[in-house]
Amino acid sequence: MSGRAGTRAIRASVAGAVQGVGFREATRRRAVALGVQGWVRNAEDGTVALHAEGSPLALDELIAFLHEGPRGASVAQVDVREVAVEGHEQFAMRGVSAGSFLVREHAARARHFDLRLEVAGAMRSWAVPKGPSLDPSVKRLAVEVADHELDAGTLEGASGGGAAIVWDRGPYEQGGRVPWPQALERGHAVFVLHGQKLRGGFALQRTRPGPKAQWLLLKRRDQHARDGYDVVAEQPASVLSGCTLEQVLAGADPN
């Protein structure tokens, strides 16, 4: 299939001794040199997966490289299929952490959750009143708030009539077709969380720009999606202390 005039798109899976030998980075360098857009990542089954978009000649050269691989790799099989052009604007390695994410449950003037993503040396932050969801049919309001420092907000406990717990945290990957932080500036950002409670693909979609911009936080449909499951209600405890917000408010020692 093709999208833009003269553009072809493929998905490829490379099997063999292809992980841990620099295959992803070598593929990224070759794709950039050829003017190809898309992504490459190490798959859970031990293969290297690839989506590539470009001219037919450039893709033929990239496929030839996949059959050969970099020094140290041993390619056993390359499966290639034609797919629709998605419109990527870069060629990126996926499966590489973009930094950390943090979700705090916070009781202050109003009870809410804080979602923070490490971006460009700061924690980009959103207040999510009802908390995140693993159900792809659920859309959660997320109000953008001021950035935080990287080491801010990791403590939990009661203070000044309020309280906070670290509800989830872990590394995350930037995803999507547009490089970060441009994706956030454009108002649609895709990312993959690797937390204890939140895993898999998520998206932030801006619905109202301006100060305290409003976004929707969405779970993407993947193997970690859980239809009808309320992760906030089912898993209320801190990933640090094991205390719930109610216990902290009641005076329990979270540490």
The domain that contains 74 carries what CATH number?
3.30.70.100
pLDDT of the residue at 1: 40
- Residues 71, 30 share a domain: yes
| Residues with active-site annotation | 24, 42
pLDDT digits (tens, 9 = 90+) for 32-44: 999 999 999 999 8
196 in any annotated domain = yes
Q: Is the pTM of this model over 0.75?
A: yes
254 in any annotated domain = no
Question: DSSP letters of 29-89?
Answer: HHHHHHT-EEEEEE-TTS-EEEEEEE-HHHHHHHHHHHHH-STT-EEEEEEEEE------S
255 in any annotated domain = no
| Confidence check: pLDDT of 155 > 80 | no
- Report the largest interatomic distance among the alpha carbons of the chain, rounded to a whole angstrom: 67
| Confidence check: pLDDT of 187 > 60 | yes
Range of the domain at 78: 8-94
The single-letter code of the amino acid at 57 is: L
- Residues 131, 68 share a domain: no
Share of the chain above pLDDT 90, in %: 76
- Residues 188, 217 share a domain: yes
